[in-house]
Structure formats: C-alpha cells, structure tokens
Amino acid sequence: MTVQRDTVVKDLAKLHFTGDSNGLIEGFNVMVNQLPTAFWNNFSERMMAMVPESAKAELEADLINCAYECGYHTGYGIITSNEFQSVVTPMVTEGAKDVLRGAYAVFTAWGWAKSGIVQVKEGERMVVRAQDYYEADGAPGSNRAFMIRGVSKAFMELAFAAPYPNGMHTFECAQTQGLESGGPYGEFVVEKK
Amino acid sequence: MKIDFTFDSTNYRHYMDGINSVLHCHHYITLTQKTAHKYAAMGGNKILTESAEDAFRPLFDAGIQKNNLADPASRLAACTEYYSAMGMGLVNMKGDASGGEATLQRSHVDQGWLKKFGPSQLPVNYVTCGFLAAAFAAAHGKPARSYQVTETASIAKGDPESKFSVVCK
C-alpha cells in the first residue's frame, strides 16, 4: 500500500471550512455544511424509533440512500479536487485501489469515521473497518451506521463501476460489526450486486 | 465572535467550540429533508426540527458562556454567526422573549434543494426551524420546545427570501 492514510488525513484535516460572505461553504463541486454530529444521530435514531416495525427496513434504506448520494457526488468532487490531486495523487501507484484508499483518508479527515480499508478485491469486494465513528455515539443498540454504509458503496462505485455519473446502483454495503452493538470496531462489507 | 475549530488527531473528530461537528454536503441534508417529508404524517418533519433544536442548543450555550453574553440581542447575534460559520447561509433574527421573526437571505438548504431537485412545492427548512427554536430559547434562557417556529416563505418555493415566524408557546 502506498497511500499513507495518516499523512493524507493530517494534510487534509488542516483545510479549514467556514462560511464565506454569504454564509455558504463551496468546495469539491458541492455546497458543504458543518453541523453537530448530534443532529444527524438524533434524526436517524428518533426516526428509527418512531416508525412501526413494518416500515423500519424501508426507512433504513432511505437513510442509507441519503448518504449514498452524498458519497457518490461529494466523493467524485473530492477525488477530482485540487487538494486530492496535490496530496494523494502523488502517492497513487496501484490505480483505482489507491484512489479508494485516498478517498477513505479523506473520509477520515472530514470526521466521518476513523477508518481504513482492510481488504479490497478489485471490482468485486471491499472490507472497511472503523475504530471510531460518530454514528456509534449514544446508547448501545443495533448497528446503525447508515452513513458509512451509504458512502462506502458510493466510493466502491466511483472506483470500479462505470465512470461518473453512470456507475450508481452497482454495489451494496452491509454492516457486519458495530461499536454501537458492542463490537471491537465497525466493519462494512461492500459487494457487487 | 471567535469560533474555535479544532481537530482531534487521535479520533479524527472535528469540534466547533468544543461540540463535535462533521462536514457533509447539500445532497445529504436535502435528502434528509426529503426523507422527513416522506414520513411527515408520522412526524418526520417534527423529528427533524427537534433533532436540530437539541443538537444546536449545546453549541449556543457553549458560545454564550465562552463569550460571557448576558443579553438576548448579543446571544442572538452569536447564533447568527454560528449559522454562517456552519455554512447554512445568512440569517437575520428579530424579536423578544415572546417570539419574533427570521429571514434567510442566503440558504444552504434552499439553494441546495434548487440545485438538486429544482423548485419545491413544500417548505424545506425544518432544520432551520430547529435552529431558530434553539436560538430564541438560548437567547432568553428558556428550555427546549419553548418556541414554535413556522416557515412562511421559502426560497426553494420561489420566494425572494425564506421567512419564519417564531412564537413562544
């Protein structure tokens, strides 16, 4: 592996985001917000608690989809950005696999999760582990890292599916371990549909 | 007002005045709003607003304490700064303990919605409703759920500004 996650995270985490004169943050071809993690957790936890059992699977899919589209479009913006080109691209020697590793370093730098890829089979399967992630905050319960699931499948599609924007709905991501459910880490397995 | 942005290099978490924060994009927040709309009959929008109110209040209380802000006007001004620092746009708030009104001249959610979906038939600022409820409550030293906030005009619906009425319950 040639992409040095900690180096990338250290460099990219220095990027400072705050509103411009319009109170807006533009970057990576998207508009960026910076909100308390409690907001995102409150919403997903309260919604899951609110819907009847018969609606939980659909709501879960909806919550994952919110992050999935974010991950796909923002992820594309990230890997084609000047910052990525200057910090990560010089470390890329293994093509798409390294771009994916770089994308996960950015994932970490943005505060989404302290995470890294543990295994990747090009075009087929990827396993990601997260040692710390905000979605695990709060009361223990069942696995609920919907954002990581959505973004993970998006990143896999950016690396190995048809070129953006035509590569969507090619992979799925399951959460197989969770800090929130008492596991040693969060584990996410992305596989081709 | 100086807002302290810090990064924990052990757990790779960002903080804004000591409150854990995270960067996301307009796709995520507009789709989250859309999800709340989908479940509106079950209380989705109410949950979205209350989730925001409960998340923003600790930030406002931290800023008020850090900057020793004693009067409501300076507290509302601090909340206004937070709104922009978070990339949410430009908010103008007026009123007193009984309530007031707010307008958005620039709006991350409205503009993000228009960019992603085009014009909306429904209001899209339930997160900002929660922000305003938290701001007025923090400014006047009241508990959560003290204010009812209603969006009365929306940039996403074609209005020049988004507007909100704020009423103390």
Averaged over B82-86, what is the pLDDT? 96
- Which residue among B43, B86, B90 places its CB closest to the CB of A35? B86
Distances (CA, A) of A12 to A1, A117, B9, B18, B35: 19, 18, 12, 20, 31
Give the model's pLDDT for residue B80. Answer: 97
Q: How far apart are CA A127 and CA A119, in angstroms?
A: 5
Angle, helices B108-117 vs B26-38, to 10°: value is 80
Tens digit of pLDDT for each residue in A104-130?
888 888 899 999 899 999 999 999 999
- Which residue among B7, B20, B83 places its CB closest to the CB of A23? B83
Q: What are phi and psi of A115, to 5 degrees?
A: -145, 165
Cβ separation A31–B112 shorter than 8 A? yes
Among A164, A183, A165, CA closest to A175: A183
A7 touches B at CB < 8 Å: no
Confidence of residue B60 (pLDDT cuts 50, 70, 90): very high
Confidence of residue A3 (pLDDT cuts 50, 70, 90): low
Cβ separation B12–A132 shorter than 8 A? yes
- Which residue among A16, A25, A51 places its CB closest to the CB of B42? A51
A107-136 residues touching B, CB cutoff 8 A? 108-114, 132, 134
And the tokens for B152?
Answer: 């009365």
State the smallest CA–CA distance between residue B119 and chain A in angstroms.
17
Listed range (A12-16, B87-91, B160-164) with the worst mean pLDDT: A12-16
Q: Which residue has the higher pLDDT, A79 or B46?
A: B46
And the tokens for A68?
Answer: 């999935």
And the tokens for A124?
Answer: 């087929």
Confidence of residue A18 (pLDDT cuts 50, 70, 90): confident
Give the model's pLDDT for residue B27. Answer: 95
* DSSP state for residue B39 in the 8-state scheme: T
Which residues of chain B does A25 touch, with a Cβ-Cβ cutoff of 8 Å?
87, 108
Residue ranges of alpha helices (H) inside chain A are 5-13, 37-50, 53-79, 82-87, 96-109, 146-160
Mutation site, A12, A30, A32, A39, interface B, largest B CB count within 10 A: A39
Give the model's pLDDT for residue A2. Answer: 63
B14 to chain A: nearest residue by CA? A111
Q: How far apart are CA B55 and CA B57, in angstroms?
A: 6
Kindly tell me if the per-residue pLDDT of A81 is higher than 90: no
Calculate what percentage of chain A has a pLDDT beyond 90: 64
Q: Do residues B108 and B29 make contact, with C-beta atoms less than 8 angstroms apart?
A: yes
A9 to chain B: nearest residue by CA? B12
Tens digit of pLDDT for each residue in B14-33?
999 999 999 999 999 999 99
CATH topology of domain A5-192: Muramoyl-pentapeptide Carboxypeptidase; domain 2 (3.30.1380)
Q: How far apart are CA A75 and CA A92, in angstroms?
A: 17
Tens digit of pLDDT for each residue in B143-155?
999 999 999 999 9
And the tokens for B62?
Answer: 């931290």
Q: What is the mean pLDDT of chain B?
A: 96
How many whole angstroms from its chain centre is CA A168?
Answer: 15
Cβ separation A16–B55 shorter than 8 A? no
Tell me the β-bridge partners of A128: A117, A188
A18 to chain B: nearest residue by CA? B85
Among A95, A103, A98, CA closest to A75: A103
Give the model's pLDDT for residue A99. Answer: 81
- Pick one of 3.40.47.10, 3.30.2350.10, 3.40.50.2000, 3.30.1380.20 as the CATH number of B25-168: 3.30.1380.20
Q: What's the length of chain B?
A: 169
Calculate what percentage of chain B has a pLDDT beyond 90: 95
Whole-model pTM: value is 0.95
Confidence of residue A138 (pLDDT cuts 50, 70, 90): confident
Which residues of chain A does B50 touch, with a Cβ-Cβ cutoff of 8 Å?
42, 46
Give the model's pLDDT for residue B93. Answer: 97
Confidence of residue A58 (pLDDT cuts 50, 70, 90): very high
Report which residue type is found at A150.
Answer: G
Averaged over A54-71, what is the pLDDT? 96
Which residues of chain B does A66 touch, with a Cβ-Cβ cutoff of 8 Å?
27-28, 31-32, 35
Cβ separation A40–B22 shorter than 8 A? yes
Which residues of chain B does A114 touch, with a Cβ-Cβ cutoff of 8 Å?
11-12
Averaged over B1-6, what is the pLDDT? 90
Give the model's pLDDT for residue A62. Answer: 97
Q: Do residues A157 and A170 make contact, with C-beta atoms less than 8 angstroms apart?
A: yes
Tens digit of pLDDT for each residue in B71-80?
999 999 999 9
Domain coordinates of chain A in residue numbers? 5-192
Cβ separation A23–B91 shorter than 8 A? yes
Averaged over B124-152, what is the pLDDT? 98
Mutation site, B1, B24, B38, B162, interface A, largest A CB count within 10 A: B24
Cβ separation A32–B89 shorter than 8 A? no
- ipTM, interface predicted TM-score of the complex: 0.97
Confidence of residue A13 (pLDDT cuts 50, 70, 90): low
Q: How far apart are CA A98 and CA A103, in angstroms?
A: 8
State the smallest CA–CA distance between residue A56 and chain B in angstroms.
12
